Structures are given as structure tokens and as C-alpha cells.
Amino acid sequence: MSVDGRAGPNRYSVRTEAGERGWEVRILDPAGEVVFSRACGGEAEARSFASTVNQHVDWLSEEKFREYYRLSA
């Protein structure tokens, strides 16, 4: 159960990647599609942001997670 009282696992995931244009953090929906992307100034910023998002995945229900990151259902 998430901290917001909802049952069931949050199936969103986070990926951090270094590309030609710098570091990027992506949130993937349960189907594996990118639903959010954020460019970062470097590896440390990307890993820090990804860590925060991962905590939210662990703590929040999918509904609250979508609401927090303004993702479509």
C-alpha cells in the first residue's frame, strides 16, 4: 500500500540516460512508453532527480503519481 492509502503497486519506472544533447531523465508508464522527459545539466543532477522520482514511485499510488507529475491517465 502506498503512503497515500491506495492499494496496488505503482508500475511507473524511471530511466536516466546520457545522450548526444546531455543527460535526460524519462518517466515510463506501465506499458514502457515515455510519458515525461526532463533534460538535466549533468549526471549528478540527472541522478538526483531520478532518485526523487523513484521515491515517488515507491511512495505514491499510480493515481497520485500521475497527478503530481501531471501525466495523462
Q: Is the pLDDT of residue 71 over 90?
A: yes
Q: Is the pLDDT of residue 5 over 70?
A: no
Are 24 and 40 in contact by the 8 Å Cβ rule? The answer is yes
Using pLDDT thresholds of 50, 70 and 90, give the confidence band for residue 4.
Answer: low
Q: Is the pLDDT of residue 8 over 90?
A: no
What nine digits make up the cell of 4?
497515500
> pTM score, two decimals?
0.87
Are 71 and 19 in contact by the 8 Å Cβ rule? The answer is no
pLDDT of 9-20, one tens digit each? 999 999 999 988
